[in-house]
Amino acid sequence: MDSLNSLIDGFGTALTPMNLLWAAIGVLLGTAIGVLPGIGPAMAVALLLPVTYGLDPTGAFIMFAGIYYGAMFGGSTTSILLNTPGESAAVVAAIEGNPMAKSGRGAQALAAAAIGHFAGGMIGTILLVVLAPTVASLAIGIGAPDYFAIMVLAFIAVTSVLGASRIRGIASLLIGLTIGLVGLDQMTGQQRLTFGSLHLADGVDVVIVAVGLFAIGEALWVAAHLRRSTGKPIPVGRPWLGRTDLKRTWKPWLRGPVIGFPFGAIPAGGAEIPTFLSYVTEKRLSKHRDQFGKGAIEGVAGPEAAASASAAGTLVSMLTLGLPTTAVAAVMLAAFQQYGIQPGPLLFEREPELVWGLIASLFVGMVLLLALNLPLAPVWAKLLRIPRPYLYAGILFFAAVGAYAVGGESLDLVILLVIGLIGFGMRRYGLPVLPAVIGVILGPAAEQQLRRALQISDGSVTGLVNTPFSVTVYVIVVLIVAWPLIGRLIARRRGGRNAAEESRTASGG
C-alpha cells in the first residue's frame, strides 16, 4: 500500500507541465537517435548527459527514461525495415521483422513492435513497483556458476533453433566467440588476437559487430544479387494489424515481460539474453513454426516486449543496489553521482520524490511512445519504397557513421568492412548470423563467470554445478539438446509398431 501511495505522489511529480515536456523531448530524441545504426540508448544518454546539467535531477532522469525507451524502439525500427540493428537488444527483431518488411508487411511488424514495447514496458514497470525489494534480494544470492549456466542456456537455445542445422548454428556461434576473444584478457592482461594493434586491446565493440554482420553483410549480399534481379521498391502494404495478427501476438506480448523483467533485474542481465530466449520460446509454442525465418509476427512481438520489460528490470538493481546491469544503467548511475546522489537501499527513503517521479514517468513515457510511433509505422515503412540500390547505399553510409561514432577511429571502419565480409560469407554458406552476435555479446562475460566459478572452487569442475539454480538450468540445457534425439527414437518405435501391426494384419488376412 505504501508503494501505491508513493506511486500516486510520483504521478503528481511526473505530470507537471515541465516534466511532461522533458518526457516528450526524451521520447522524440531517443526515437530519432535510435533509428541511426550504431547509436544506441547508452550512447544517446551519454551524449545528452551534458545537456541536462542545468536541469533539476527529477527532470533530468525523466528525460533519460524517455531517451532510453525511445532509443530502444528506434533501434527496432531500423532492425525491422533495413536489417540494421541500432543496438544489441534490437538484433532479434531483424530475424522475423525484416522478412515481414520484405514481403510488404513492414508496417505490421512496426506496429507489433510498438505495442510490444508498450505492453512490456507497462508490465515491467508494474513489476518494478511491486517486486523491486524481492527481486533485489534474490539477485544478491545469484553467483558466478548461475550466471555461466544462464549463458550456456542462451548459447544452446539459439544454436538449436536457428539455421538449417545445429552444426551451422554452432559454427556461427564459434565465429562470434572467436571475435569476442579479441582484446586483453580481463584477468591476466594478456593480449589475444590483437595482432599487435593497441586499438584492438579493448576488443571489438558489439555495435560494430552487429552492424557489420547485419547491415554490411546484407548490403553486400543484395549487391551481389542485383545483377540477377531488378531492384524494385518493396510494397508497404496495409498499415494496421488485422484480427489474425492480433490473435497471434497477444500471447507473446504477455509472455515477453515474464522472460524479460527477471533478466533485466539480475546483475549482468540486460535485454540480449531475454530477447533471444523469448524468440526461442515463441518458436517452440507457435502453431506457425513453418513461418519462422520467413516473417512470423510472433518473433517480433515477444522479443520486443521482453526487451522493454528488461529495461524496466534494469532499474531494480540500479535503484535498490546501486548496481548497473547495462551500459545505459551505468551512464544513468554516473548521472546520479553527478548530482551527488548515491543509488542503493536508502535511496527510496532519501530521495522519494525523484525515485517515484522517475518510476511514474516510465508509465507516461510508454503512453507517449505508443502515441508517437503507432501512427508513424506506415510512414517509417515507406522507407522501403526507395529503390534498393539507393536504400542500401544509405545503409552503408549510416552504418559507417555509426561505427565511426563508437570510438572515433578510422580503424573501426576497416574492422566494420572485415566483419561485413564475414557476414557476407555466412550468408553465402547458410550460416545463421544471430548465434555469432550472441557469441560476441555473451562470450567474454561467460568466460569471466566460468573462471570466477572455477577460482572459487579451486579449479574443481563441480563448482559449476554446486547450486540448485545452476543444476536446474543445466537440466533444461540437456533437455534442449536431447529432445530431437528422443523425438527420433519415439518416432522410430512408433514406426516399428505400425509396421509390425500391418504385417500381422496382412498375415492374418
H/E stretch holding 183 reads: strand 183-184
d(CA 336, CA 321): 13
- Say yes or no to pLDDT of 324 above 80: no
The mean pLDDT of 304-314, rounded to a whole number, is 84
Query: In this predicted structure, which of 23-27, 325-329, 490-494 has the lowest mean pLDDT?
Result: 325-329
Burial of 417 (0-12, 13-18, 19+ CB in 10 A): middle
How high is the pLDDT of residue 95? Answer: 83
Strand partners, 330: none
d(CA 49, CA 334): 9
d(CA 400, CA 416): 8
Question: Does residue 20 contact residue 64 with C-beta atoms inside 8 Å?
Answer: no
H/E stretch holding 350 reads: helix 347-350
Cell of 330: 551505468
Burial of 199 (0-12, 13-18, 19+ CB in 10 A): middle
d(CA 97, CA 300): 6
Strand partners, 191: 184
d(CA 354, CA 231): 52
Q: How many CB atoms lie within 10 A of CB 91?
A: 30
Residue type, 392: Y
Phi-psi region of 185 (alpha: psi -120 to 50; beta: other; left: phi over 0): beta
Angle at 418 between CA 414 and CA 424, to 5 degrees: 140
The mean pLDDT of 80-87, rounded to a whole number, is 72
Q: Which residues of 173-183 are buried (b: 16+ CB within 10 A; e: fewer)?
A: bebbbebbbbb
Task: Give φ, ψ of 191 to 5 degrees.
Answer: -80, 140
Nearest to 169 by CA among 98, 80, 255, 95: 95
Q: Which residues of 103-113 are buried (b: 16+ CB within 10 A; e: fewer)?
A: ebbbbbbbbbb
The mean pLDDT of 205-226, rounded to a whole number, is 78
Angle at 75 between CA 311 and CA 10, to 5 degrees: 35
d(CA 265, CA 191): 33
Q: What is the pLDDT of residues 389-401, one digit of tens each?
A: 777 777 788 778 7
Question: Does residue 298 contact residue 250 with C-beta atoms inside 8 Å?
Answer: no
Angle at 76 between CA 73 and CA 80, to 5 degrees: 145
Cell of 391: 536504400
Cell of 175: 565465429
The mean pLDDT of 418-444, rounded to a whole number, is 84
How high is the pLDDT of residue 237? Answer: 53
Confidence of residue 227 (pLDDT cuts 50, 70, 90): low
Q: How many CB atoms lie within 10 A of CB 375?
A: 12
Q: What is the pLDDT of residues 151-165, one digit of tens each?
A: 888 788 767 655 557
Nearest to 212 by CA among 388, 433, 442, 42: 433
Query: In this predicted structure, which of 2-16, 420-434, 478-492 has the lowest mean pLDDT?
Result: 478-492
Q: What is the pLDDT of residues 5-53, one digit of tens each?
A: 878 888 888 888 888 888 888 888 887 776 765 556 666 666 666 666 6
Residue type, 76: S
